[in-house]
Structure 1
Amino acid sequence: MRTLLFLAFFSNVAFAQITGKIITPKREAVPFVNVLLLAASDSSLVSGTTTNEGGNYQLLLPKMGRFYLKISGVGYQTRFSEAFEVNASKSTIALADLTLLEEENTLNEVQVSTKKELVQTTPLGKIINVQSSLMTKGSNALQVLERLPGVISDRRNNQFSLNGQSGVTIMFNGRKVQMPMEELMALLENTVADNIEKIELITSPTAQYDADGGAGIINIIFKNNELLGTKINFSATAGYGYKEKVLTTIGISHGVKKLNLNASYSFNHDVRKSGYAGDGTAGASFMLGETYNTFYGIARRYQNNHNLNFAAQYQPNPKTTLGVDFVGSFDKSHNLVNNGGTYQLKRGDFFEVAMLSDGLTTKQNNISSFYLKQTFSPKTQFNADFSYINYSNNSPAGISLEYFDEQKQPIKPQFSIFTYGNRGESISKIHVGVFKADLTTQFSEKINADFGIKTSFAQNENDSKVERKVNDTWEIDPRSQSQLKSLERIAAAYSQFKFLLNAKTNLLLGLRYEYWKRDFSNQEEVFEISKFFPSVLYTYAINQNTSVNFNYSRRISRPAYTDLISNLFYTDPTFIFSGNPLLKPTLSDILKIEYVKNGLSLGISAQYDLNPILRYQITSNATKDVGISSPQNLDYMKSLNLFLSYPFQLAKWWKVTLNTFTSLRDYKVSYSQFPAEKRYVFQNLNFSQQINLPKNVEVELSGWYNMPYFEGPNTIKGFGVANVGIAKKLKNDKGTLLLTLPDVFRSFSVHSHNGGMTPIAFDINTVSNWRDETVFYRVIKLTYARTFGKNTRSVKYDAKDEERERF
């Protein structure tokens, strides 16, 4: 009764109400497109609105007559409905679902005038149409993510942050990729960006999404053409930096009346170089006493990678869709890493160590899925999805060491921890099975509901050992990692209700329950959490192009299994790398309000993170003689954030998209020598400029910059990157030539100061500088792309099926 009174209070008085839904050929909702009601007699505008998150719209009509709808949105073909009659006999008219098709123009054809907007804002976050960026060609998925607004990729520590917040969930085609972040970043490096259609940055997720990821969700959507006919896309990239780079991609799409097939294959050969160098001091409690150290690491990787994407979709009737998709990669790389440094002891001893690591890594990843979409009626739809992840990694490596005195003469070190060689092998296997089902139904003209369940089972196996050379004999290092098996089970259920309060206002209330359990073969302790996660999304459309969104959500960031294991391994004899079995998950509460107008997005949010996780933090063991690098929890982090996204046209031929994120933060760290609190301002800038020149030439300038910030007890200096791309469309549809210069100013350099905010274990006070390949060498890439064949139209049923019975 209260719900009915609430709805009645917010409803407007009108003669008639028209409702409906806008969908894609796959029957997916099309949110935030314009729906105009036009008079059939003279095409004059009568009323207008935009679709909500679920693709639904509602129009209030103050008069009778004959009308039709005009639906339009950026990146979609304009659609007109059939004319319909409105008379006094009906106060509510529910129209059949209308299908909206995407524009057929692609980057390969470089039809610049009708490309999708690079960045589109939604109440849930942003949609990045990466194929609208010239820099996508010849890139991998990780490089594309690093160029997105608000996304920070920390290759030193193998982690992502979104708008400066840690705890990011990565999804492929709406399915969570459940693997440790090190493996996930390697997978993204091995994923060719040419196969990606768009990327969703979901910073305000609702209950239908996994609760994992306190900072939000990055959803990578791969291409899946649904048009009739046959089309072949081909591109080849040649480049040079440290050494050669070659990338070739071929994609085929074929559509008939009820069946669509899409397949693509890519081969990538890349030789790259990156490295770090630094120096600093350690206190008297360190195993060597007080020392001054220098250190460095230079990595060279010779990589060959194969990518295969496949998708098939079959519609036996207008109400049923069956589909399968597959994403697979096979990567083999030869890794050479030179590590070393000097040790100057306070008591006068000096020695230098030089290490060479020679490893061969073989990785294979397959993600396969089967899904069903069933429309029971215009009011009720059901989706079911099963996916399976199979990942394997074999990384044998050998390390040889040499020691020298100040005169560069070979010596034998006095300390037993320094050996003359290491060798080892790490074999990892991950198996994940996930099933989820969702039901969407419309209770009335003003109330929609979604219900869903999800269950997943993950098995992680690692079998590794490290041997060290002692007196010409190989023996197993007792500190090395050994056999380990982890089992993880997640069960979830959610419900969310969408209320159409009036023609301009929507309210979404959601509640998600998740149960998480993880255990390890070598530990008695079991990690188990059972929690509810509420969400609220309120949207008010001021007019056709202006809206205000309010969002609240609670999230969780679970530690990866590799972050929890207590087994030890090392690359430097003085430091051990370990997991932290006492690590806690992060709980996040986020409150956000956003104003959107004609592409402009301006918002403010407040976020509270309890126990945020930072990786590779330096602590000590119980006896205070060995340094430990492991993940740790901050006590808390409080953030007040201001964000702005603004596309503007400087001239008819020159468009700029600007994104900024500013955050005032308070946090507390207690795993340092002394508990400490810090307040600071974090600032991220991201921009893209598209310039259309005569003779079918387009130029793109893009880049990002992070102001200085703090990372637990450490400080990071500001750093950023600028990129340039130039495309030339050849005459007579002969293809496109594209020249790209990533990191044109060779500035991708990350300067960190361990202990820069507050003293850490052993009074370690070091500075280091990590540099990408583009800093060492000028990287240049040239791509040729061409499309063969042509798609004609979308898969469509007869008119009687397209305009189904109204209710």
Structure 2
Amino acid sequence: MKNLLPFPDYFSRHYLCLLLLSGSLPCLAQSQVGGIVQEDNGKPLPFATVLLLSANDSLLVKGAITTEAGEYSIEGVQAGSYRMAVSMLGYQKVYSAPFFVAASTQTIQVPLLQTSAETKQLSEVTIVGEKPMFEQQLDRMVVNVQSSITSAGATALDVLERSPGVSVNRQQNKLSLLGKAGVMIMVNGKLSRLPQDALLQMLAGMNASNIEKIELITTPPAGMDAEGNAGLINIVMKKNTDLGTNGSYSATLGYGWYERPAASLNMNHRTAKLNFFADGSFLWDHYWFSLYTNRRFTEQNQMVESSNVTNRNTHHMIYNGRMGFEYSLGGQTSLNGMVAGFNNRQEQFALNQTRTVEAADLHTTIAGKDHEINQWRHLMGNLNLQHAFQNQSKLNLDLDYLLFHHNNPHWYENDFQNWQLNTQQLEFMNGTKFTPIHIGVGKADYEFKIGKTALKTGMKATLSSLDNDVAVQKLSGEEWITEPEFTQKVQMQEQIGAAYAGLEQQLNVKTRLQAGLRWEFTNTGLTASTGEKLLKRRYHYLFPSVSLSRDLSTKHTLQLSYSRRITRPTYKDLAPVFTFLDPYTSFYGNTSLLPAITDALQVVYQIQKKYFLTLQYSSDKNPITWLMRVDAGRNRHYIYPDNIKSIHTYSVNLSIPVVLTSWWQMQNNLMGNYQLNQTNYQGENLRISGYAAQLNTTHTFSLPKNFSMELTGFYKSRSYMGVLQIRPQGFVNIGLQKKLKGDKGNLSFTISDLFWNMRFEAVNNLPSLDLYQRIGIVGEPRVIRLTYSRNFGNKNIKVSNQRKTASEEERNRLGN
């Protein structure tokens, strides 16, 4: 990276203010539970599995592995009733007597636990924890992917599409959460800095069998980046915690109208001090889809209508992989490292048919061909140092470097037929796009206690640099001529600095508080190859967040939260570069975009920890949305990002699990929202409002002979995105699973979009401006997948750190 501007001096002043503020805040009182495990002869029992179980329902809360001295320690235990369980291959399983952890207690010493060797050869002990499909936590909804049958053979994007409150707009490569489109994606707590179109392609190639859970975080704490006005979606990958060598693998045969094979491998080798892990996945996705556009406007008192249909045959190949290590340096210090990357290559062969009608007479037709390659390559490296001090404080240091490279050439062939003049013209064009991106991230987090008060504080710096080189040429005779309107080389540099202080506090037995304050500074520059400064912008904001949870009774809990978020213009949004959909329709960036600020309030009411009612209100200032503009004189249709004045969103989400019989269970999630959009569009003040509803339902059936079946459904009514109206859409998926005898794996058969209802269409209908525009996409129906998956290696439960890296919160803003 070069020419990266230094952070302003007041960065340190703001951070010191936050640090001083944090020193005056109380925090969550959590306890430490410890003890010793011995054999019946008094010898220590090393490397045994110690589980902290809820005394009420025996559910697993946390776990640990005994040291060579037979000792164990579990930190961060909240108030409640528990018991300990000890298991090890070849030894009898033993339990402690129930004990209670009070909110005011710092340390609990469990009485000595002793076990004896089995007198006969034991088969391997497997501890299985059944998790519900959905779990509500203080600031997030957790979707346990491995609890879903229809996730077998599916991708991460498929799973997101089925998650409650999440909508996937595959046409514009956008995600929305609770009716809001400014959601950011994290992988293992790391915000992805990819353009969201490339990010969605990556998720479409990420095998769901490598995913443990998905967290829908609507009110993120101060320790997470403030980016994303709708909140964050965190995809947590599997991490095997067993000693020895173990892992899992899967293979899928899929077919829609074309072949769709996939495979994945996840493996882990763990010793007392060293853990090595690696995983990878492969996807070949050969599919068809159709894009269509339509627009009507008046030019010289004549009605002009232009329509286009593009049929695209796509070959999509994705390789994802990562490997890393965790090494204990002794005592309370560990050194960790990881490298990861992907190669995401998409090749499309498109046939376009365009018609222009003037005054009810056919004027022009265009038969076009577009051969496109869209390839993203990525490599990242991470180093992490963790240290726990004797006073129970913790330090975490992260350093990341990320490299992306985007290559996106086009070859166009257009056959123009003017039926009014009876002329024909053949046009050849090509386009190139090269975009290397370099990102460096440094992050430090510190947790400490003052008496019974624990505090969290940290700093973060992100330095980004990219060059976007786009050229379009047209063949004239035998010479290729550069088209200056669509050719540009732009360099962008951006620095983001952040500091935060946060707390969690058990105010009393029934009330819990989480609060924090985050400050972020942004410096963005955009420069043309000529040296012209296209954009230079500096700004900083404070982002408070607070969540309060109150147990009204043993079965009823109320949660209140508030947060402020920001949505920065992405690199792709800002770059003044054109992308063609057809000869008359193109996308382009907007250098005048401003950041959007969102204030959100949320109330969650829980009953028996399984029924949830969520109410949310959010107010967006300068929200960024996609608009459409028609140049009537040239019959050009432009789609571009822009700020509108405001969006006010009111939403309600209801989660209702139902147990109909011992073999039939349901999980229903219903969402409704009202949205008011206000802006000035092409000189006219607009107020566009409307209601929308969304239903996610999952039915699970337990069948004889180790068979199970799952039926999932999704429906979203008419909704709004800025000035665009989104038509209703939905799908039904079905899956059947067989658990093979002798722990020989699972065999799953799934069918997605059974009735071919998952279609996207957006309409911009403004009679006062004499304007009608429509754009939509239709994909393949009924994709069938057969998947075999199996775990291998040691299956006894062990516990390890779930580590995040600094740039988990960075890899999304390239194109969100």
Could you tell me whether the CA contact under 8 Å between 1:465 and 1:476 is conserved in 2? yes
Deviates most, 141-150 or 623-632: 623-632
Distance 1:378 1:36, change over 3 A: farther
Matched residue, 1:685: 695
Q: 2 CA distance for matches of 1:208 and 1:84?
A: 33
Matched residue, 2:10: none
Matched residue, 2:11: none
Deviation at 1:711, TM superposition (A): 2.4
Q: How does 1:267-666 map to 2 (within 5 A)?
A: 267-284=282-299, 290-317=303-330, 319-346=332-359, 348=361, 350-377=363-390, 379-404=392-417, 411-412=423-424, 420-445=427-452, 447-522=453-528, 523-597=533-607, 598-615=609-626, 617-619=627-629, 626-666=636-676
**Letter of the 2:603 counterpart:** I
Distance 1:86 1:143, change over 3 A: closer
Matched residue, 1:669: 679
Provide the TM-score with structure 1 as the length reference: 0.83
Matched residue, 1:794: 798
Matched residue, 1:785: 789
**Letter of the 1:787 counterpart:** N
Matched residue, 1:733: 743
Deviation at 1:456, TM superposition (A): 0.6
Which residue, out of 168, 178, 187, partners 2:202? 187
Q: 2 CA distance for matches of 1:365 and 1:18?
A: 40
Per-residue Cα deviation, 1:718-754 (whole angstroms, up to 9, x for no partner): 1111111111112222222110101111111123222
Could you tell me whether the CA contact under 8 Å between 2:82 and 2:100 is conserved in 1? no
- Gapped regions of structure 1 (runs ≥ 5): 12-16, 23-31, 39-53, 60-67, 73-77, 99-108, 414-418, 798-807
Per-residue Cα deviation, 1:476-505 (whole angstroms, up to 9, x for no partner): 111113211111110000001233211111
Per-residue Cα deviation, 1:44-73 (whole angstroms, up to 9, x for no partner): xxxxxxxxxx944236xxxxxxxx83379x
Matched residue, 1:49: none
Which residue, out of 242, 253, 260, partners 1:227? 242
Matched residue, 2:705: 695
Could you tell me whether the CA contact under 8 Å between 2:527 and 2:535 is conserved in 1? no
Could you tell me whether the CA contact under 8 Å between 1:179 and 1:430 is conserved in 2? no
**Letter of the 2:794 counterpart:** K
Per-residue Cα deviation, 1:102-160 (whole angstroms, up to 9, x for no partner): xxxxxxx9x99843211111111211111221222222222221121111111211221
**Letter of the 1:209 counterpart:** M
- 3-state SS of the aligned residue for 2:224? coil
Deviation at 1:198, TM superposition (A): 1.3
Per-residue Cα deviation, 1:305-357 (whole angstroms, up to 9, x for no partner): 22212232222335223322333211333211122211112284522101111
Per-residue Cα deviation, 1:771-792 (whole angstroms, up to 9, x for no partner): 1222xxx321111122232233
Could you tell me whether the CA contact under 8 Å between 2:82 and 2:99 is conserved in 1? no
Deviates most, 468-477 or 228-237: 468-477
Deviation at 1:258, TM superposition (A): 1.9
Output the aligned Cα RMSD. 3.5
Q: 2 CA distance for matches of 1:441 and 1:216?
A: 27
Deviates most, 142-151 or 360-369: 360-369
Q: 2 CA distance for matches of 1:334 and 1:290?
A: 37
Q: 2 CA distance for matches of 1:311 and 1:410?
A: 65
Deviation at 1:374, TM superposition (A): 1.6
RCO comparison, higher one (Cα < 8 Å, 6+): 2
**Letter of the 2:256 counterpart:** G
Q: 1 CA distance for matches of 2:323 and 2:271?
A: 17
Q: How many residues align?
A: 723
Could you tell me whether the CA contact under 8 Å between 2:140 and 2:218 is conserved in 1? yes
Q: 1 CA distance for matches of 2:798 and 2:540?
A: 45
Could you tell me whether the CA contact under 8 Å between 1:312 and 1:324 is conserved in 2? yes
Per-residue Cα deviation, 1:398-456 (whole angstroms, up to 9, x for no partner): 0101133669x98426xxxxx612112111222211111111122232x2211011111
Deviation at 1:694, TM superposition (A): 0.5
**Letter of the 1:412 counterpart:** Q
Deviation at 1:364, TM superposition (A): 1.2
Distance 1:624 1:587, change over 3 A: farther
Q: 2 CA distance for matches of 1:171 and 1:410?
A: 55
Distance 1:743 1:626, change over 3 A: closer
Deviation at 1:33, TM superposition (A): 8.8
Distance 1:162 1:130, change over 3 A: same
Could you tell me whether the CA contact under 8 Å between 1:672 and 1:759 is conserved in 2? no
Deviation at 1:632, TM superposition (A): 1.5
- 3-state SS of the aligned residue for 2:756? coil
Could you tell me whether the CA contact under 8 Å between 1:480 and 1:570 is conserved in 2? no
Deviation at 1:551, TM superposition (A): 0.5
Q: Percent identity?
A: 28
Deviates most, 785-794 or 333-342: 785-794
Could you tell me whether the CA contact under 8 Å between 1:479 and 1:567 is conserved in 2? no
Could you tell me whether the CA contact under 8 Å between 1:191 and 1:329 is conserved in 2? no
Per-residue Cα deviation, 1:173-196 (whole angstroms, up to 9, x for no partner): 111111322222222223222222
Distance 1:112 1:749, change over 3 A: farther
Could you tell me whether the CA contact under 8 Å between 2:101 and 2:108 is conserved in 1? no
Deviation at 1:83, TM superposition (A): 8.2
Distance 1:350 1:312, change over 3 A: same
Distance 1:765 1:792, change over 3 A: same
Distance 1:679 1:397, change over 3 A: closer
Q: 2 CA distance for matches of 1:439 and 1:119?
A: 31
Q: 2 CA distance for matches of 1:585 and 1:709?
A: 24
Distance 1:459 1:21, change over 3 A: farther
**Letter of the 2:139 counterpart:** L
Distance 1:119 1:112, change over 3 A: farther
**Letter of the 1:454 counterpart:** K
Distance 1:573 1:484, change over 3 A: same
Could you tell me whether the CA contact under 8 Å between 1:256 and 1:795 is conserved in 2? no
Distance 1:483 1:83, change over 3 A: same
Could you tell me whether the CA contact under 8 Å between 1:403 and 1:410 is conserved in 2? no
**Letter of the 2:719 counterpart:** Y
Distance 1:732 1:771, change over 3 A: same
Could you tell me whether the CA contact under 8 Å between 1:539 and 1:550 is conserved in 2? yes
Could you tell me whether the CA contact under 8 Å between 1:333 and 1:360 is conserved in 2? yes
Per-residue Cα deviation, 1:500-554 (whole angstroms, up to 9, x for no partner): 2111112222110000111112234312211111111111123455321110111
Could you tell me whether the CA contact under 8 Å between 2:31 and 2:76 is conserved in 1? no
Pair 1:212-2:227 in alignment: yes
Provide the TM-score with structure 2 as the length reference: 0.82
Could you tell me whether the CA contact under 8 Å between 1:663 and 1:682 is conserved in 2? yes
Q: How does 1:128-147 map to 2 (within 5 A)?
A: 128-147=143-162
Deviates most, 386-395 or 512-521: 386-395
